[in-house]
Amino acid sequence: MIDLIKTINDVGHFFRHLIQNENLNLHPDEDFRNYIHVETGLPSYTQEEADFRNKLMETCFEVCCRENGDIYAIGLEMLFNRLQH
């Protein structure tokens, strides 16, 4: 998984990883502490894992703001692509 977000491309790579590799129904506004594993009903992430992803997401917002990118459009496109495959 990407551990540093610097560009819009990095935002896309991060989102793609979350959606494809972690099977997340991603929404950029959602706190990672709130994601629950469907089969077990347990949290998807430990506190440390959620905090790490929350910090990355915060950086995604900053990068998108700086580069005039639409974070919601990026996430939506990734989700639609996942649903089509």
| Domain ranges (residues) in the chain | 8-84
- pLDDT-above-90 percentage for the chain: 80
**In whole angstroms, what is the distance from residue 43 CA to residue 63 CA?**
28
More confident residue, 1 or 48: 48
Q: In Å, how far are 1, 5, 12 from 77, measured between CA atoms? A: 19, 19, 10
> Euclidean distance between the first and final Cα of the chain, in Å?
21
Name every residue whose Cβ is closer than 8 Å to that of residue 8 and which is 6 or more positions away in sequence. 63, 64, 67, 69, 74
Tokens 């959606």 belong to residue: 19
Q: At residue 85, does pLDDT exceed 80?
A: no
pLDDT in tens, 61-82: 999 999 999 999 998 888 887 7
Name every residue whose Cβ is closer than 8 Å to that of residue 37 and which is 6 or more positions away in sequence. 43, 44
| Mean pLDDT of the 46-71 span | 97
pLDDT in tens, 6-44: 999 999 999 999 999 999 989 999 999 999 998 899 999
